[in-house]
Structure 1
Amino acid sequence: MVKVYEVDKEADIQLKRRIADLFMGQMEPIGPANAYDQLTKTINLALKEDSQAHIFIAEKENTIVGAAFLNIALSIDKGGHYIWLNDLYVHKEHRNQGIAKKILLQVIYWAEQKEIKGIELETGINNEATKALYNSLGFYDIISKRYGSRF
């Protein structure tokens, strides 16, 4: 049985490390050499009391098998708060079991309870499985060009 829940802002160091270990599966192929340090720093920042970031995890038999990392922001277009879903990741050994959908459904339920106006995210152009998941839950394509910068 998979249990999905929001990580409490008071999470202990051991739980934070377990979350970082999970996300390393996503970061290793693409991340910088210091990816683990970057992850632990980001998780610590996300779980500070004044942070607008939230982490949801999926656990199966005391193992974290998936997680969502998101931020709450304000939008003029949406007329209020919305979620930017930074990451939705399921460990490769636990994919195709409905875990990502379970996490996303929990995030949607949580957002509705908080009267959040919507969720936005991005995924790879060729990631058909992920696009099918999002479409199955009522997400739709937004045509735009995303830009970024690092300081």
Structure 2
Amino acid sequence: MVKVYEVDKDVDIQFKRRVANLFMGQLEPIGPANVYDQLMRTIDLALKQDSQAHIFVAEKQDTLVGAAFFNVALSIDKGGHYIWLNDLYVHKEHRNQGIAKKLLLHVIYWAENEGIKGIELETGINNEATKSLYNSLGFYDIISKRYGFRY
């Protein structure tokens, strides 16, 4: 059985390491050499009391198998708060078991209870499985060109 829950803001360092180790499966192949340190810094920032970031995890038999990482922001267009879903990740050994859907449904339920006006996210243009999941839950395509800048 898979249990999904939000990571508490005052979780201990061991649990933060478990979350970082999970995300390593997503970032290690594409991240910088210091990706683990970067993950730990990000998790620390996300779990500060004044942070608008949230982490939900999926746990199966005491093993973290998936996570959703998102930020709550304000939008003029939406007339209030919305979620930017940064990451929805399931460890490769646990995919195709409905875990991503369960995580996303928990995020949607949480957002509705918090009065959030919408959820936005991004996925690869050729990621058909993920696009199918999002469409099955009522997400729709937004045509845009995303830009970025780093310091």
**Which band: TM-score by shorter chain?**
over 0.9
**Unaligned 5+ residue runs, structure 2?**
none
> Counterparts of 1:42 and 1:28 in 2: how far apart (Å)?
15
**Unaligned 5+ residue runs, structure 1?**
none
The amino acid that maps onto 1:128 is E
Within 5 Å, which residues of 2 pair with 1:124-143? Answer: 124-143=124-143
> Counterparts of 1:104 and 1:124 in 2: how far apart (Å)?
17
Secondary structure of the corresponding residue to residue 17 of structure 1: helix
> Counterparts of 2:66 and 2:29 in 1: how far apart (Å)?
17
Deviations 1:69-99 (Å, cap 9, x if unpaired)?
0000000000000000000000000000000
Secondary structure of the corresponding residue to residue 93 of structure 1: helix
> Counterparts of 1:93 and 1:112 in 2: how far apart (Å)?
31
Number of corresponding residues: 151
Which portions of structure 1, spanning 4 or more consecutive aligned residues, are displaced by more than 3 angstroms? Answer: none
TM-score, with structure 1 as normaliser: 1.00
For 2:68, the equivalent position in structure 1 comes to 68
> Counterparts of 2:36 and 2:28 in 1: how far apart (Å)?
9
Q: CA deviation at 1:63?
A: 0.2
Secondary structure of the corresponding residue to residue 139 of structure 1: coil
> Counterparts of 1:35 and 1:149 in 2: how far apart (Å)?
19
Secondary structure of the corresponding residue to residue 9 of structure 1: coil
> Counterparts of 2:131 and 2:60 in 1: how far apart (Å)?
25
Secondary structure of the corresponding residue to residue 87 of structure 1: strand
> Counterparts of 2:30 and 2:59 in 1: how far apart (Å)?
25
For 1:15, the equivalent position in structure 2 comes to 15
